[in-house]
Amino acid sequence: MTGSIEIDLVSDTATKPSPGMLAAMLAAEVGDEQRDEDPSVLALNARVADLLGLEAALFLPSGTMCNQIAFLVHCRLGDEIIAAESAHVFGSEGAGASALAGAQFRLIDTEDGIFSAAQAAAAIRAPRHRSPRSRVIAVEQTANRGGGSVWPTQTLGEIAAVAHANGLAAHMDGARLPNAAVASGTAMAAHVRGFDSAWIDLSKGLGCPVGGVLAGSRGFIEEAWSWKHRLGGAMRQAGFLAAAGLYALDHNVARLAQDHDNARAFGALVANSPGVSVFPREIATNIVFLDVSGSSLDAHEIAARLRTHGIRLGVESATRMRAVTHLDVSAEQAVRAGTLLARILEEAGPRQA
Ligand SMILES: Cc1ncc(COP(=O)(O)O)c(C=O)c1O
C-alpha cells in the first residue's frame, strides 16, 4: 500500500538507509555482540555514552526496549513512575511498565508533554505502607504527543534534582533527543545532565533501520545487560546495525535543522486554511499536529485525498492528524504536501454548524 506513497509524513521512522549508510553497514567490522566482541557495537556504545555524558551505554534493538529495561532496572514490584499523560511509555508500549517491571504510572496532565519540577514534586508520594513507592520520574525529549516540544535544559536539571532529593531515579526517553539538541543549540549531554538513564533512538530522525542506545552509570548498564539478555535482545553480529548508528551520528544530526524548517514550512502553509488549527503554534522540531474538527472533511477523508497524490499523513482520530518530517522528505516535498493539503481544505470549506 505504501508503494504509491512518495511523501510519507506518518512518522520519522519511515526513513530507509541512504547509500552512504548502507556502504558503512557493508564495511562494518563485526563480532559476537553477546560476548562483547563486536567492535562496531562497542564503538557505538562508547560514542553514545560520551555524547550523553554518562559512564556506559548499551545497544538495544528498539527504543521501547530501552525504556522497558530502564524501568526493570530502576523499579521493583509495586513501584510508581511519574510521567506525562501523553508519554509514549504510558500509552504506546503495551503497558510494558506494568506487564514487565510491575510498576504503575502516576500521570501529570500537560498541554505539551512538559511538566515542571514543582508538578513532579507534587506527584511524589509521601512514604506510607499503603502507598505505592514513587520511584522514577520519566521525561520524553522531545515530547512526541506534545507536538515535538523541547524541554528546557533548566527544567530537566530541576526535575533530576527533585528526583534525587526524594530518592527517585530520573529517566529520559530521548527518542528525539538529537532533535531537541539541534533545535535548542545545546549539546545532548546538557539535556541529560543529572539523569540516571537516558537513550537515543537510531531509527527516528537519525535515519537508521534499527536500534536504540541506552546509557547510564556502569552499574546501571551492567544490570541492563542482564535484562537485555533475558528479554532476547542480545545479538550476534549486530555491528552491521551499529555501523549505521555510527554513520548517522557523523552525518545525520546537524541536518535535523532542515527537518525542523520543513515542518515549519508545512505548518505555515496549512495554518490559515479553513477548519484547521495547527499545534503547536510555534513548531519547535519535526512534529506537527492538525485539528481538523472545523473542516467539512474528517481526518480519514483528508488522508484519503492526500493519498491519491502520493502523500501520507498520520490519522490519530476523526479530527486529529499528525505530520512528521524526516530525512526522506525534502524541502520541496514538504512545501508540496502543505500546498496540496491547504488546497484540499480550501475546496472542502469549513464544517457547517
Ligand atoms: C517518544 C517515543 N519513545 C519511544 C518510542 C519507541 O521507539 P521504538 O519504535 O524504537 O521502539 C517512540 C517511537 O515512536 C517514541 O516516539
Per-residue model confidence (pLDDT) at position 353: 77
Per-residue model confidence (pLDDT) at position 3: 55
Regarding the beta carbon of 201 and ligand 1, being less than 6 Å apart is answered: yes
Per-residue model confidence (pLDDT) at position 328: 98
Mutate to test the pocket of ligand 1, among 62, 204, 316, 324 (most ligand atoms within 8 A of CB): 204
Interval 188-196 mean pLDDT:
98
Q: Strands, DSSP E only, in the chain?
A: 7-8, 56-60, 79-84, 104-108, 133-140, 169-174, 197-201, 212-216, 277-279, 287-291, 311-312, 314-317, 320-324
What's the topology of domain 255-348?
A: Aspartate Aminotransferase, domain 1 (3.90.1150)
Regarding the beta carbon of 175 and ligand 1, being less than 6 Å apart is answered: yes
DSSP secondary structure, 106-152, as one string: EEE--SSS---HHHHHHHSPPP-TTSPEEEEEEEESSBTTTTSB---
Regarding the beta carbon of 93 and ligand 1, being less than 6 Å apart is answered: no
Q: Which atom of ligand 1 is nearest to the CA of 211?
A: 10
Regarding the beta carbon of 88 and ligand 1, being less than 6 Å apart is answered: yes
Residue position matching grid coordinates 555524558 = 53
Regarding the beta carbon of 12 and ligand 1, being less than 6 Å apart is answered: no
Q: Which atom of ligand 1 is nearest to the CA of 176?
A: 1
- Class of 19-251 in CATH: alpha beta
Interval 231-239 mean pLDDT:
97
Q: What is the pTM of this model?
A: 0.97
Regarding the beta carbon of 62 and ligand 1, being less than 6 Å apart is answered: yes
Per-residue model confidence (pLDDT) at position 296: 97
Per-residue model confidence (pLDDT) at position 1: 46
Distance 201 CA to ligand 1 centre (A): 7
Smallest CA-to-CA distance from 190 within 57, 285, 47, 52 is with 52
Distance 35 CA to ligand 1 centre (A): 27
Distance 157 CA to ligand 1 centre (A): 23
Per-residue model confidence (pLDDT) at position 60: 98
Regarding the beta carbon of 214 and ligand 1, being less than 6 Å apart is answered: no
Interval 168-180 mean pLDDT:
98
Tell me the pLDDT tens digit for each residue of 80-133: 999 999 999 999 999 999 999 999 999 999 999 999 999 999 999 999 999 999
Distance 64 CA to ligand 1 centre (A): 6
pLDDT-above-90 percentage for the chain: 98
Tell me the pLDDT tens digit for each residue of 280-300: 999 999 999 999 999 999 999
Smallest CA-to-CA distance from 53 within 163, 244, 195 is with 195
Interval 134-163 mean pLDDT:
98
| Pairing relationship of beta strands 287-291 and 197-201 according to DSSP bridges | unpaired
Q: Is the pLDDT of residue 211 over 50?
A: yes
Q: Which atom of ligand 1 is nearest to the CA of 201?
A: 10
Measuring from atom 8 of ligand 1, which residue has the nearest CA? 63
Residues of the chain with CATH 3.40.640.10: 19-251
Residues of the chain with CATH 3.90.1150.10: 255-348
Distance 283 CA to ligand 1 centre (A): 20
Tell me the pLDDT tens digit for each residue of 52-95: 999 999 999 999 999 999 999 999 999 999 999 999 999 999 99
311 φ/ψ angles, rounded to the nearest 5 degrees: -120, 135
Which amino acid, 1? M
Q: Which atom of ligand 1 is nearest to the CA of 144?
A: 1
Measuring from atom 9 of ligand 1, which residue has the nearest CA? 63
Smallest CA-to-CA distance from 72 within 189, 142, 157, 171 is with 171
Distance 211 CA to ligand 1 centre (A): 10
Interval 159-163 mean pLDDT:
98
Distance 295 CA to ligand 1 centre (A): 30
Q: Which atom of ligand 1 is nearest to the CA of 140?
A: 1
